[in-house]
Chains A and B, each alone.
Chain A
Amino acid sequence: MIGYFFKRLAGAIPTLLIIITATFFLMRAAPGGPFDQEQTLPPEIVANLQSAYGLDQPIWTQYGRYLGSLLHGDFGPSFKYKDFTVTELIAQGFPVTLELGVIAILLALLIGIPLGIYAALRHNLAADHASMSVAVIGIAVPSFVVLPFLGLVFGIKLHWLPVAGWEPDSLRYLVLPVIALALPPLAYIARMTRGSLLEVMRSDFIRTARAKGLPLHSIVLTHALRPALLPVAGYLVPAVAAIMTGSLVVESIAGLPGIGRYLVQGALNRDYTLVLGMVIIYSTLLIGMGLLVDLLYVWLDPRVRQQ
Chain B
Amino acid sequence: MSGFWQDATERLRANPTAVAALLLMSLVMLLSIVGPWFSPNSAEALDWTQVASSPGLQHAHWFGTDRLGRDLFVRTLAGTRVSLAIGLVATLVSLVVGISYGAIAGYVGGRTDHLMMRLIEILSGLPLIFFVIFLTVIFGRGPALLFFTIGAIGWLTMARIVRGQTLSIRQREFIEAAIASGAGTPRIIVKHVIPNLIGPVIVYATLTVPQIILFESFLSFLGLGIQEPRASLGTLIAAGAGEMEAAPWILLVPGGVLAALLLCLNIFGDGLRDALDVKER
Q: Do the two shown chains form a genuine complex with each other?
A: yes
The yes or no answer to B240 lying at the interface (CB within 8 A) is yes
Please determine whether B139 and A30 come into contact, CB atoms closer than 8 angstroms. Answer: yes
B141-182: CB near A (< 8 Å → 1, else 0) gives 100000000000000000000000000000000000000000
Size range of the chain B interface in the assembly = 35 or more
Task: Name the A residues within 8 Å of B255 (CB-CB).
Answer: 145, 148-149
The yes or no answer to B34 lying at the interface (CB within 8 A) is no
Task: Name the A residues within 8 Å of B237 (CB-CB).
Answer: 144-145, 148
Question: B248: which of A30, A140, A152 is its contact (CB, 8 Å)?
Answer: A152
The yes or no answer to B244 lying at the interface (CB within 8 A) is yes
Tell me if A's interface is mostly helix, strand, loop or mixed: helix
A236-249: CB near B (< 8 Å → 1, else 0) gives 01100110110011
The yes or no answer to B206 lying at the interface (CB within 8 A) is no
The yes or no answer to A252 lying at the interface (CB within 8 A) is yes
The yes or no answer to A156 lying at the interface (CB within 8 A) is yes
Please determine whether A163 and B263 come into contact, CB atoms closer than 8 angstroms. Answer: no
Pick out which of these stretches binds chain A: B42-50, B194-202, B215-223.
Answer: B215-223
Please determine whether B129 and A248 come into contact, CB atoms closer than 8 angstroms. Answer: yes
Using A27-B138, A267-B137 as known contacts, say yes or no to A139 and B222 having CB atoms under 8 A apart: no
Using A26-B138, A140-B262, A152-B251 as known contacts, say yes or no to A249 and B218 having CB atoms under 8 A apart: yes
Please determine whether B129 and A195 come into contact, CB atoms closer than 8 angstroms. Answer: no
The yes or no answer to B184 lying at the interface (CB within 8 A) is no
The yes or no answer to A114 lying at the interface (CB within 8 A) is no
B115-149: CB near A (< 8 Å → 1, else 0) gives 00000000011111110011011111100000000
The yes or no answer to B90 lying at the interface (CB within 8 A) is no
Please determine whether A148 and B240 come into contact, CB atoms closer than 8 angstroms. Answer: yes
Task: Name the A residues within 8 Å of B262 (CB-CB).
Answer: 140-142
Please determine whether A237 and B266 come into contact, CB atoms closer than 8 angstroms. Answer: no
Question: B221: which of A144, A237, A279 is its contact (CB, 8 Å)?
Answer: A144
Task: Name the B residues within 8 Å of A249 (CB-CB).
Answer: 218, 221-222
The yes or no answer to A61 lying at the interface (CB within 8 A) is no
Please determine whether B244 and A163 come into contact, CB atoms closer than 8 angstroms. Answer: yes
The yes or no answer to B241 lying at the interface (CB within 8 A) is yes
Please determine whether A136 and B259 come into contact, CB atoms closer than 8 angstroms. Answer: no
Question: B133: which of A29, A141, A267 is its contact (CB, 8 Å)?
Answer: A267
Query: Closest approach, in angstroms, between the C-beta of A121 and any C-beta of chain B?
Result: 20
Question: A267: which of B124, B210, B224, B238 is its contact (CB, 8 Å)?
Answer: B224
Q: Give CA–CA (A269, B244) in the complex, Å.
A: 28
The yes or no answer to B265 lying at the interface (CB within 8 A) is yes
Please determine whether B210 and A140 come into contact, CB atoms closer than 8 angstroms. Answer: yes
Please determine whether B251 and A148 come into contact, CB atoms closer than 8 angstroms. Answer: yes
Question: B266: which of A139, A145, A252 is its contact (CB, 8 Å)?
Answer: A139
Task: Name the B residues within 8 Å of A142 (CB-CB).
Answer: 214, 217-218, 258, 262
The yes or no answer to A31 lying at the interface (CB within 8 A) is yes
Please determine whether B280 and A195 come into contact, CB atoms closer than 8 angstroms. Answer: yes
Q: Give CA–CA (A211, B248) in the complex, Å.
A: 59
Using A252-B222, A275-B133 as known contacts, say yes or no to A144 and B241 having CB atoms under 8 A apart: yes
Residue of B nearest to A264 (CB): B222
Q: Give CA–CA (A241, B130) in the complex, Å.
A: 10
Using A152-B244, A267-B137 as known contacts, say yes or no to A133 and B259 having CB atoms under 8 A apart: no
Within 8 A of B (CB), among A21-76: 23, 26-27, 29-32
Q: Give CA–CA (A286, B127) in the complex, Å.
A: 10
Please determine whether B241 and A156 come into contact, CB atoms closer than 8 angstroms. Answer: no
Please determine whether B240 and A30 come into contact, CB atoms closer than 8 angstroms. Answer: no
Question: A32: which of B140, B218, B223, B240 is its contact (CB, 8 Å)?
Answer: B140
The yes or no answer to A282 lying at the interface (CB within 8 A) is yes
Query: Closest approach, in angstroms, between the C-beta of B26 and any C-beta of chain A?
Result: 17
Residue of A nearest to B221 (CB): A144
The yes or no answer to B267 lying at the interface (CB within 8 A) is yes
Please determine whether B244 and A264 come into contact, CB atoms closer than 8 angstroms. Answer: no
B residues touching A (Cβ–Cβ < 8 Å)?
Answer: 17, 124-130, 133-134, 136-141, 210, 214, 217-218, 221-224, 237-238, 240-241, 244-245, 248, 251-252, 255, 258-259, 262-263, 265-267, 270, 280
Which 10 residue pairs of A and B lie closest in terms of their CB atoms, listed nearest first? A30-B138, A140-B262, A140-B266, A241-B127, A267-B136, A267-B133, A140-B263, A141-B259, A145-B255, A148-B241
Q: List 11 A-B contacts (CB under 8 A).
A: A30-B139, A32-B140, A133-B17, A140-B263, A145-B258, A148-B237, A152-B248, A152-B252, A163-B245, A267-B136, A282-B130
